[in-house]
Each structure stands twice: as structure tokens, then as C-alpha cells.
Amino acid sequence: MCIMIEIAVVGGGPAGSHCAYCLAASSLYPVIFDHTHPREKPCGGLVTPFAQRLFPFLKKLPIKHGEKSKLHLISPSGRQARLSTRKSKIRTFSRLKFDQFLVNMAVDKGAELIKEKVIALGRRKDFWEVETTRQSYRVKILIGADGVNSLVRRSTIGPLSKMDKGVCCGYLVRGLEKEDITIRFLAHRKGYMWVIPRDDHTSLGIGACEASRSYGLRRELDMFIEQQYPHAEIISKWTALIPNVKNSKTLKIPLAGHNWILIGDAAGHVSPTSGEGIMYALLDGELAAQAVVENNPETYNEFWKEAYGTSLFIDVKLRKVLYTRPGLELYCKFLKLQNTLHF
Ligand SMILES: Cc1cc2nc3c(=O)[nH]c(=O)nc-3n(C[C@H](O)[C@H](O)[C@H](O)COP(=O)(O)OP(=O)(O)OC[C@H]3O[C@@H](n4cnc5c(N)ncnc54)[C@H](O)[C@@H]3O)c2cc1C
């Protein structure tokens, strides 16, 4: 038997959950497919003051989190810059608690969470055939919020290319919660290492912007931990991919059709310079819901470009200049002259 669904969101991360919440708030009650909750997504979990200004609910989330007002940046040659936030603090979240809270918010508003993995999609003229590990569904509007290796993306515009992904690995550790947030830029990886303390543990990782620069990634991180944080107690270990768009043509591919939309990591919407993606996931969730509420999913293509398209395009260009040894040295020199983070 085939179950009929008006709107299905594949993926209950920040993009999918927030989209489902916004739809339900407009009296359109979607289904979210996600088999993974509760789970800790490999992530820094850092939410900037700028993102908090855009989404004030992030300042009031009733879940335990870290709050930091200092950011410590280190250039490839060891030049150090210590910056303070001006008004609000940087918040750092465990993705287990953060994502669980967002998905619960959507369910409380009226969305339904079906804990099934989508394993196949068939595109018909006016609907989608969605097959999960348990059942088949017939869906009128499909929203792909299923992350960097999105099945919805593969079934519509094709996968994000290998070139447009970055490779990361790291640990959740205990014992560094009092440290400042630290970013150590690595010119040879075109990436960075991070230490992001949360409330009762810390995300510690290393990311290379390209797979071709990921050889020996974990070894380099282990040496860094041994030298800088020998007392860190490792709780878990992970490896992950992150969208890291290097080709601005990728951002020109339409991300919505008459009955489908791609959002968040599935859309490739992560800052290629900083790796920030939670803010874009929330923005996309809201914009996709708006397009569906207006009964015109395709308008999402204009909505996201109007909202932040230019800054993402600039970010793609900036990445090329920034992630060179002189670029990173100059950037850290510039930041050293500032005392304040202006975002
Ligand atoms: C190592 C690392 C560090 C990061 N640090 C930060 C940071 O500090 N700050 C920041 O802003 N961003 C950070 N990011 C980026 C951020 O994690 C993502 O941009 C953000 O999670 C995107 O949200 P999303 O909902 O689009 O995707 P995701 O959070 O990836 O959620 C996708 C969901 O879809 C589900 N799913 C996938 N396939 C299927 C399927 N077939 N059927 C059903 N469900 C499916 C998954 O289980 C998952 O729950 C980091 C990313 C990585 C990899």
C-alpha cells in the first residue's frame, strides 16, 4: 500500500527541522523522514552572534550550551590574534541537544517525524515515489534537507562534486571546557584546526578544504593534541564531509523545481571560508517554507539568492585568496590589529 503525503522533508537536521517548523506554523503539516535521532552530528556547533541576531530564538534555547566571548586565531607561522565579541557571546551547542530540540519544536507545532531512512526516490510528473526502509509513500512536494551526500540532490540535479566537499576528522573530548575557542589556520591543508568548548565537552577537529589535501589529517591533529592539550580525555572519534564549494558555477545550479527544493548542506550552503552552515540551514528552512506556502517552490531559487547569494558568491572567491600562506598571514595580522569581533 502506498501512503499519500502532501509535503515531505527528507532529513531532520537544522535545515529540515526548521523548515518543517515554519511550514507547520503556517498550517501546512509536513512529514520529516529521519532515522537517526537522537544523534550527535560531527560538528563544531558554533553559532555566531550574527546568526543569533538573525534567529533570536537561538539566544533563548532552553538547552545547556557553552558561551564564549573570546576567539583565539593562530596563523600558519604562529602569529596570534585574540578577539572579543562586542555585545553578544558566541554560543556553542552539542548537536545532539540542538538538533533534538529543533526537531521537537517542529513536532510540537504539528509536523510528523517518521524515523525511517529514505532509500530510493522516483520522480513522476506530479509526485514523488519515496521508498523508505519500511514503506512506500507518494509525495506531492519533496524537500531535500538530507545533508552533504543528499539523496534528493542526487535524484534531482546530481551530487555535489568531490571538489566541492571538504574532509574533516576529530574528537569530542573532556577537560578543555575553560579554554577559549581556538582556530589554527593551516595553509598546506587550505583548512584549519579548531577547539570549540561546549558546556560539558569540547569539539576538537581538523578540516582540509579538499580531499587531495587530507592525507595524514588525523595524525596532524593527534600531534597537535599531544603538544597543546595532553590532558584532553577523548570521548568519541569521527570523520565527516562538509560542503565546501570552490566553483562559483555550482551556486548557479537551480536548487528547486515545481515540486522539490534543496536546502542546507544538501544545497551546498556552507561558508567556504569559515565552514559556518547552521545559519544557512536555518535561513534555507525558512525560505523554502515561504516558497511552499506561496504555492511556488521554484521561487526558492530567487529567495536564497536575494537573502545571501552575493555574500556566498564572494565567499567562494575569497576562499581562493585567503587559503594561501600570505593570505592567512595577512588576515591574522589584520585581525591582530582589531580587538573586537564585529559580527
Ligand atoms: C566537522 C564539521 C564541523 C562543523 N562546524 C560547524 C560550526 O561550528 N558551526 C556551523 O554553523 N556549522 C558547522 N558545520 C556545518 C553544519 O554542521 C551544517 O552546515 C549543518 O548541520 C547543516 O544542516 P542540515 O540540516 O542541512 O544537514 P545535517 O545537519 O547534515 O542534517 C541532515 C539530516 O538528514 C538525515 N538524512 C540523511 N540522509 C537521509 C535519508 N536518506 N533519509 C532520512 N534522513 C536522512 C541525517 O541523518 C541528518 O539528520 C560543521 C560541519 C562539519 C562536518
Ligand 1 site, residue 66, Cβ cutoff 6 A: no
The verdict on residue 108 lying in a domain is yes
Query: Can you tell me the mean pLDDT for 118-142?
Result: 96
Query: Can you tell me the mean pLDDT for 90-110?
Result: 98
The verdict on residue 294 lying in a domain is yes
pTM of the model: 0.98
Q: Which domain holds residue 148?
A: 2-41+94-161+245-320
Residue 65 pLDDT greater than 70, yes or no: yes
The verdict on residue 267 lying in a domain is yes
The verdict on residue 75 lying in a domain is no
Query: Can you tell me the mean pLDDT for 215-221?
Result: 96
Q: How far is the CA of 316 from the centre of ligand 1 (A)?
A: 20
Q: How far is the CA of 273 from the centre of ligand 1 (A)?
A: 17
Q: Which of 169, 242, 286 to mutate to test the pocket of ligand 1 (most atoms within 8 A of CB)?
A: 242
Kindly give the number of the ligand 1 atom that is closest to the alpha carbon of 46.
8
The verdict on residue 237 lying in a domain is no
Q: What is the per-residue pLDDT across 45-57, written as a single tens digit (0 to 9) for each?
A: 999 999 999 999 9
The verdict on residue 166 lying in a domain is no
DSSP 136: E
- 58-73 CB burial, b ≥16 within 10 A, e <16: beebeeebbebbebbb
Torsion of CA 140, 115, 110, 265, to 10 degrees: -70
Ligand 1 site, residue 19, Cβ cutoff 6 A: no
The verdict on residue 80 lying in a domain is no
Distance CA 78, CA 113 (A): 47
Distance CA 319, CA 315 (A): 6
Maximal C-alpha separation, the chain = 65
pLDDT given for residue 129 in this prediction = 97
Q: What is the per-residue pLDDT across 162-182, written as a single tens digit (0 to 9) for each?
A: 999 999 999 999 999 999 999
| 3-class secondary structure per residue, 295-324 | CCHHHHHHHHHHHHHHHHHHHHHHHHHHCC
Distance CA 241, CA 156 (A): 21
pLDDT given for residue 88 in this prediction = 86
Task: Please give the tally of structural domains in the chain.
Answer: 1
The verdict on residue 149 lying in a domain is yes
Q: What is the per-residue pLDDT across 132-161, written as a single tens digit (0 to 9) for each?
A: 999 999 999 999 999 999 999 999 999 999
CATH number for 23: 3.50.50.60
Residue 18 pLDDT greater than 70, yes or no: yes
